[in-house]
Amino acid sequence: TSRARITAIGSYVPERTLTNDDLEKMVDTSDEWIVPRTGIRERRIAGSDVFTSDLCIEAVRNMISEYQASTDDIDMILVATSTSDFPFPSVACQIQEQFGIPSAGTLDLSAACAGFVYGLNMADALVTSGLHRKVLVVGGETLSKVTDYTDRTTCILFGDAAGAALVERDENNPGFIHSCSGSDGRAGIHLYRTGLSGRMKGKVLSGDGNIVQNGREVFKIAVSTLTREVPRLLENAGISPDEVDWFIPHSANIRIIQAVCERIGFPMEKTLFSAEYYGNTSSATIPLALHQGVLEGKIKKGDTLLLYGFGGGFTHAGTLVRW
Ligand code: ACO
């Protein structure tokens, strides 16, 4: 049993908006093509001199101001990102420096769009085990820096954002109910970001650091993975779907969410997603939707939330939490 709960949440998006109309001027596409296929209307784009650590730091600032959270006693910082400013130092170290957190471990983790939920699950485990007491979990990306804006099949999808949460020890009122994670490396070839060269399926892949994807395959894998794993998580937790107040899946694309809800028989009205106005922001989509749900008064204290991330790798991770 868990001895931890989420005690604070914050988020940040950069100011500049990239609309479907803007994209029409950049590639051969249209609002009429993008909206029915993805549900995305706008994304936020960071300036060329704004980096993932900047967005993450703003999300932490936002969380601190809304929850009057103190950062001095944070003893571990986990940052989920696929677009860290540097391979090292980690974004987690940049956050530690910015807030002058005196004694925290720092670690960036790589699980693509599932990263934030992986981070929450690891934070729960670290706190429940007694190794740590207060873990800062951040998911942040500047996907605009790794997006090819001449490729209409990918540039319509991605945006920049960050979200942050605190996971603290609470023995009397733990919030984590049940968690899971999994992966399938065979599907890695359908969605990857080149960096230094590497070999996949016997082929050396080198590139410009941008995202490469086979959208059709990604769509199918995302839908089949969530359709299989979400009911399994609920069953293992002994929770029925009608006990879930809000389902917050990774917001890659609203059509994926609709397809999953149809297949598992879960009402779309009880899902929260951030893709419509922010696009796919990878590890930031779930904390963004969660934070907005709280701000809008949809998520109430005591609600049962089902968070489920999936992403390149392929990776996936879910958690059921009491808010
Ligand atoms: N505007 C206009 N036409 C386009 C665009 C565009 N932006 N993109 C592709 N097309 C064209 C294609 O060139 C193709 O034309 P053709 O038939 O003449 O060759 C036609 O539209 C159909 O292309 P498909 O790729 O088959 O289109 P599909 O219906 O599969 O939609 C999409 C593409 C939206 C990318 C879809 O596959 C998808 O949503 N996949 C999931 C991708 C995703 O969400 N990835 C997120 C990252 S993954 C993650 O977060 C885990």
Among 113, 218, 229, the mutation site with the greatest number of ligand 1 atoms within 8 A of its Cβ is 218
Q: What is the pLDDT of residue 197?
A: 82
Q: What is the pLDDT of residue 166?
A: 98
Does 173 qualify as catalytic in the annotation?
A: no
Q: What is the pLDDT of residue 207?
A: 85
Pick the residue whose CA is nearest to atom 47 on ligand 1: 252
* Amino acid at position 240, single letter: S
CA dist 53 and 32 (Å) reads 34
Q: Which letter, b or e, does each residue of 189-214 get, where b requires 16 or more Cβ atoms within 10 Å of its Cβ?
A: ebbbbeeeeeeeeeeeeeeeebbbbe
Cα of 170 from ligand 1 centre, angstroms: 45
Cα of 19 from ligand 1 centre, angstroms: 17
Does 113 qualify as catalytic in the annotation?
A: yes
pLDDT tens, position by position, for the chain (323 residues)?
999 999 999 999 999 999 999 999 999 999 999 999 999 999 999 999 999 999 999 999 999 999 999 999 999 999 999 999 999 999 999 999 999 999 999 999 999 999 999 999 999 999 999 999 999 999 999 999 999 999 999 999 999 999 999 999 999 999 999 999 999 999 999 999 988 888 888 888 888 899 999 999 999 999 999 999 999 999 999 999 999 999 999 999 999 999 999 999 999 999 999 999 999 999 999 999 999 999 999 999 999 999 999 999 999 999 999 99
Model pTM score: 0.96
* Amino acid at position 191, single letter: L
CA dist 23 and 109 (Å) reads 31
Active-site annotation holder among 132, 250, 291, 316: 250
Q: Which letter, b or e, does each residue of 93-102 get, where b requires 16 or more Cβ atoms within 10 Å of its Cβ?
A: bbbbeebebe
Q: What is the pLDDT of residue 195?
A: 84
Strand, coil or helix: what is 203?
strand
Pick the residue whose CA is nearest to atom 12 on ligand 1: 153
Cα of 321 from ligand 1 centre, angstroms: 33
Cα of 154 from ligand 1 centre, angstroms: 8
Q: What is the pLDDT of residue 73?
A: 97
Does 280 qualify as catalytic in the annotation?
A: yes
What angle (nearest 5°) sits at the alpha carbon of residue 192, between those of residues 191 and 194? 155
* Amino acid at position 307, single letter: L
